[in-house]
A and B are shown apart, each in its own frame.
Chain A
Amino acid sequence: MEELDVEPAITNIPAASDGKHLGFAWGPGDILAYETLYMAPGMCAKGSGCSFIHEVRKDEDIYSPILRKLFNESHHIFVGLQTIREDLPSKNKKTQFVSISKNYRSVIRACMEELQQVAASVLVLQVSILLAIELIWNLCEVLFIDAAPAGPLLLHLLDWVRLHKGDVDEKAREVLQSESPAEHHDYWDVVVSYVLQGRFEEARQMLVKQATLQPAARNMYKLMDTLLSKMPFYNPGGTQTLTEFDVKWRHWHEEVDRCLQDNSFASNQHLEIICKILVGDEDTLLEHKELLSTWYHFLVTRLLFCHPTVKPTELHYYAQSCMTMFLDLRSVPEPLDSILLAAFEFDIHQVIKDCSIALNNWWFVAHLTDLLDHCKLLQSHNLHFGSNLREFLLLEYASGLFTHHSLWQLAVDYFDNCPEFGHVYLELQIERVPLDTERKALKVLRICEQRQMSEQVRSICKIMAMRALRNNRLGSALSWSIRAKDAAFATLISERFLQDYCARGTFSDLDLIDNLGPAMLLSDRLTFLVKYREFHKLYEENRFSEAAKLLLSLITAKIAPRSFWMTLLTDALPLLEQKEVSHSAHCALHCGFGHDLCFILQ
């Protein structure tokens, strides 16, 4: 078992450290901490009254507005990835996975560019973290997702280094824009940097400027130009086999070596250096640490000039040795170094583990792991928990999103794609979303309804109904309790409506009551309320006969609350005097009251 673990991070709280306790309370996205003193029973303590409560937060990334864009856009890519069909031929799938990986990276890039524009000092850390993330992701894409074989592998690695070592272009522009580029103090740095990155076209164009300045050395420059132009690069689209390429490359390499042996460039120190680089001389390469700046640039350059047909399985050997050679004996590898090294060793789990520890950010590990899992790369390690790992990380990421007032909606799709615990996590999290407005409540409700989360649907409606009732908004309370199918509460609210009617003689929320439809059957009292209101409407419209019939049925059906009988009877009186009311209804009303009711009347 591997237990090279890290010590927990300590967060300092501005509170007493000695003899006191730290109380706490979990919040949705934070912890409240406060000074207190816990005691065994019978003891009693007096404390100071000026205590503070400290709100302790994590996941500060979520609160950065620019990173919010990262979360939003990567969410689309994530959802798209989940819909890639299992039955696609694996070759098509690989192309899709690579393009999804590139989409993720372009979102990171876009975010970085936006952060650059803001250029606020506090964001510098985020930029450097995003840079690191993109660098790692790109390498994982080359090694794991694209899984380039010997030959194309080096080309991809060259692209990787070029993309992340963009300062050459800046410097080249500066040199070229100067009055006399060939005499610029950075001129040779640019040429050598181009050569180190295998950008020979650009290097040759720069060299032409020097050659025209030194007509005497024309032949020497011409020779260098030939060497550079003749260096073979593997063409993955071509018909050439890897062996043929290897033979051709060796031939070129011997030619460069010969030039070095017969001192062709001895009279020009710069060209001599370039020639030594071309032949892959380690000492010369290491003399240019400044221009290489990282051990992995050194690695790729070394592979370019010494082992252009390196196989994926050999990478770890070169990576390890390049790192050792490049880093000083004294300096300890940074977490980033270890992560890249683990990638070169094809140890996916180590990469994910180190990243989760180093980044304090679930975004990267969750999305990368999900993609690798879709590529079926986690299972290949013979681990039983490949998909568990994916789900574990997605759950953590989505739970973090849920603490944010608008990002929580993204989290829903992540939970939906976690087969084991996604649903129960969603249940636990979504009921905690503050229902600030009716609109927000409806939004949450829709999500729950779509997923048949009946208990959450009921609870949300109940909360809203209770809140409306407390604020005396009876109509809203009634419609929420109907949605909750809460008969007891609907009865209670109907009663309040009737009480209000008795007190004021008018109904509120007529629109709602008149249009309830079959929903009125939820409770007897509600049915009565609706029917009673219907009676009033008929009466107002002078449809006395129908009104009388309805009133009669209300009385005989015995769904009226006892406290309301008196009101009903009073309502009946004018009807009894109406000539329009048919004789039969008249009689019925009389009879319907029954003896006891008539008794009350008299």
Chain B
Amino acid sequence: MCRTDRVPTAGILWLALVVIMFVARSIAADHKDLIHDVSYDFHGRRMATCSSDQSVKVWDRSENGEWHCTASWKTHSGSVWRVTWAHPEFGQVLASCSFDRTAAVWEEIVGESNDKQRGLSHWIKRTTLVDSRTSVTDVKFAPKHMGLMLTTCSADGVVRIYEAPDVMNLSQWSLQHEISCKLSCSCISWNPSSSRAHPPMFAVGSDDSNVTYGGKVQIYEYNENTRKYAKAETLMTVTDAVHDIAFAPNLGRSFHVLAIATKDVRIFKLVPMRSDRKESTSTGPTKLEVQIVAQFDNHNSQVWRVSWNITSTLLASSGDDGCVRLWKANYMDNWKCTGILKGDGSPLTSSSGQPTAMSTIVGSSVQTSQNALNGMSAGRYFFPPLDPPRAGTRYGHLLPPSSLIEHCDAEPIQPQQALPYRLSSRALLPLPEAEGQ
């Protein structure tokens, strides 16, 4: 230990590096194909899942925390890439996007009371957005202060911004902006800042793998005067394919934070440069100073998803190493991996593939507490009992008999035989090239 010669002012740089977690429950999603996206609603009481089986499912969390599928329906005629919730100010509204070149808006309607009793809900299609000529790769609602606006991006390199002028009539959407990004788009993210100092801004990423095409992340900003979106910045240093992109909640700061999933995880700080007031007659977008804050290659290869938690104290990323990694900054803005979720190679198998819409809850409350215990003892920082366990001592009777400890270390869920997965090279709908011209 170098404790004695340590400079006392070095202080602590890292806090709570270990995020110990446990699997509380597993839900049989019963999708007939790969799940591509899972999305929580704003309050965390509902979730939506979408899959290559062309369907979307909606799940509701009951009082005791269990998930029940309350709706499942075919949404598209191709793989459904993403599903996302509108802010509850606009009601219960979902948007989905698909390989079938469309995006769709769905609204839950309050149905018959006996449906509710049976735990079912009705979703109806309000609109299909058919402007894209290629696969629609991402769909996002704009921040709520802008009204009910939906953004899509597609493989043909176009970002489209739609608006529902009447929030009570979601069958009417008008295409407000069509922004050509020149490169095949894979992901979009809105800057969530509602500050008046920040005009509406979004970032779009391209998964075009040709590095000679330059920066793969473009930032667009709305201009009040021209009423158009104009490119504010291209992140020239990001030349590899970008698969996901996420603005962090603003926290009242003057700058923006953007996470990018490319061949590694990158976190950028975008600092709006103060434009000279006298020159402000010019209608150009805000100049942004781009600073890289962190860059991690722990996923070894491609990173596919990045996402922030509510207060942006944690960033999660998913990559080719098959892991979800959690990144955390300390209060001096140093970033570090604090937790890893990792497949253990023994996937659960569905209980005989019953066509029931209800979830199969694996893991009772007993298992939950055992898992909690496992989570703790699996951590490296378990405190030894302070007093040796001796009958009749003050705290002795609190310590478990050794047999129990061993029992608790047992596998909480008996893993079953791993299913071989298949990777089919068969493409679904080969799109005619000519159509895009």
Give A contacts to B, CB under 8 Å.
Answer: 1-3, 5-6, 8-38, 40-58, 60, 115-116, 119, 121-122, 124-125, 127-129, 131-132, 135, 164-167, 169-171, 174, 293-294, 320, 334-336, 341-342, 345, 347, 349-350, 352-353, 356-360, 362, 365, 381-383, 385, 388-389, 391-393, 395-396, 399, 421, 423-425, 428-429, 431-435, 455, 459, 462-463, 466-467, 470-472, 492
Contact = CB atoms under 8 A, between A and B. Distances in A.
A434 B43 CA distance: 5
A342 B323 CA distance: 35
B143 to A, nearest CB: 11
Nearest to A431: B42
Nearest to A12: B344
A180 B343 CA distance: 63
Contacts of B337: 8
A167 B318 contact: no
Given A34-B38, A49-B353, A470-B110, A56 B31 contact: no
A2 B15 contact: no
B71 interface: no
A385 B13 CA distance: 11
Contacts of A33: 324, 341
Interface of B: 3-4, 6, 8-40, 42-45, 47, 49, 52-53, 67, 79, 87-92, 99, 110, 135, 137, 144-145, 155, 168, 184, 186, 194, 207, 209, 241, 243, 249, 251-252, 302, 304-305, 307-311, 313, 316, 318-320, 322-326, 330-332, 336-350, 353, 362, 369-370, 372-373, 375-388, 390, 392-400, 404, 408, 413, 415, 418-419, 421-428
A396 B39 CA distance: 24
Given A41-B155, A124-B399, A360-B381, A2 B18 contact: no
A358 B9 contact: no
A48 B34 CA distance: 6
Contacts of B20: 9, 11, 58, 360
Contacts, number: 424
B340 A23 contact: no
B395 A11 contact: no
B33 A47 contact: yes
A349 B11 contact: yes
Nearest to A360: B20
A16 B345 contact: yes
Nearest to A25: B38
A170 B390 CA distance: 11
Given A51-B34, A121-B404, A9 B331 contact: no
> What are the 10 tightest A-B residue pairs by CB atom distance, in nearest-first order?
A47-B34, A50-B350, A28-B44, A353-B12, A49-B32, A38-B304, A17-B345, A15-B343, A167-B393, A17-B343
B26 A52 contact: yes
B338 to A, nearest CB: 5
B47 A25 contact: yes
Contact of B332 (A335, A385, A431): A385
10 contacts: A10-B339, A11-B20, A26-B307, A54-B26, A122-B408, A128-B384, A357-B15, A381-B8, A392-B15, A459-B89
B386 A294 contact: yes
Contact of B17 (A5, A47, A396): A5
A490 B77 CA distance: 40
Contact of B26 (A53, A382, A432): A53
Given A11-B23, A38-B305, 20 more contacts: A1-B13, A9-B20, A12-B344, A15-B347, A25-B37, A30-B24, A31-B316, A33-B324, A40-B207, A46-B52, A48-B421, A116-B395, A124-B398, A124-B399, A135-B386, A360-B20, A381-B11, A388-B331, A428-B310, A466-B90
Contacts of A29: 44
B40 A25 contact: yes
A6 B17 CA distance: 7
Contacts of B347: 14-16, 35, 51-52
Nearest to B349: A50
Contacts of A57: 21-24
